[in-house]
Structure 1
Amino acid sequence: MAGISALELETLWTEFHEVVNMTSQEIGAVLRTDAGGDADSPWTRRGLRVLAILQKRRDELTEDDVRVMYDVVESVEDFAPGEDGAPGPEQLMRTGHDPSRSGARGSL
């Protein structure tokens, strides 16, 4: 893939799968409930992209997938509860990160 080295992709793949600590089924359930919010919200759209990425192998990723993965990792790393402009727990859960959990995400 142009624009990213194999080592950088490996690091991103690992970080993404560490911050996405919910299963595909859990993310889908959040997106289908009222907690998922508006289908047109950026967080819901990102959650749908996360679900698609989770179904792919590393060699199937597109440049847009890589951008979404970086966005998700940054959103979770920047999460500071109560801080102005920080995503809330509901927003993070729409993208596959449950702030009440720690460690790697569950198996699909």
Structure 2
Amino acid sequence: MAESVVGDDLWEEFHTVVNMTSAELEEWLLVEASGEHGEGLPEQDEADLGRHVVHILGKRRTDVTPDDVAIMQKVVDRVRSQRGVDLEPTAGQTAWRHRLMRIGHDPLKPA
């Protein structure tokens, strides 16, 4: 059996903060790219990060690479810096919600 490069804590934390499914995130990224929400083009870094998240969500834990681990940590850090420890559903500014959704976290969705 292959050894996983991602630790238990990060694996669990990533799958806690990323509360959108890969299908939901993919759909959201397509909607954002089409400009359907009138905000113009999303920040490229967030959109790229979101595509990586979709890719990671489709992997088994043993298939995660060191690059994936770095992305997972970046997503966890970004969500936690904007949400804190409490991930209870929270309404906020639309742009803030959309930025978080680009990386797989919908602040209005129950954890």
TM-score range, shorter chain: 0.7 to 0.9
CA distance in 2, matches of 1:102, 1:74: 19
- Equivalence for 1:42: 45
2: CA distance, partners of 1:75 / 1:59: 24
Measure the CA separation in 1 of the matches of 2:41 and 2:47: 7
Distance in 1, matches of 2:100 and 2:18, equals 9
Cα RMSD of the aligned pairs, angstroms, is 2.5
Residue 29 of structure 1: CA displacement?
1.0
1:62-95 deviations in Å (ceiling 9; x for gaps): 111000000100111111567xxxx821111011
- TM-score by length of structure 2 reads 0.74
Q: Which runs of 5+ in 2 are unaligned?
A: 84-91
Counterparts in 2 of 1:32 and 1:75: CA distance versus 1, 3 Å: same
From 18, 22, 36, the equivalent of 1:24 is: 22
TM-score where L is the length of structure 1: 0.76
Do the aligned partners of 1:39 and 1:45 also contact (CA within 8 Å) in 2? no
Aligned residue in 2 for 1:91: 99
Q: Cα distance, 1:37 vs. partner?
A: 5.6
Percent of aligned pairs sharing the same letter? 39
Q: Does the 8 Å CA contact 1:27/1:96 hold for their aligned counterparts?
A: yes
**1:63 aligns to what?**
66
Alpha-carbon distance change, 72 to 91 in structure 1, aligned in 2, over 3 angstroms: same
Structure 1 unaligned regions, length at least 5 = 104-108
Aligned partner of residue 21 in structure 1, secondary structure: coil
> 4+ runs of 1 displaced by more than 4 Å?
none
Q: Secondary structure at the match of 1:98?
A: coil
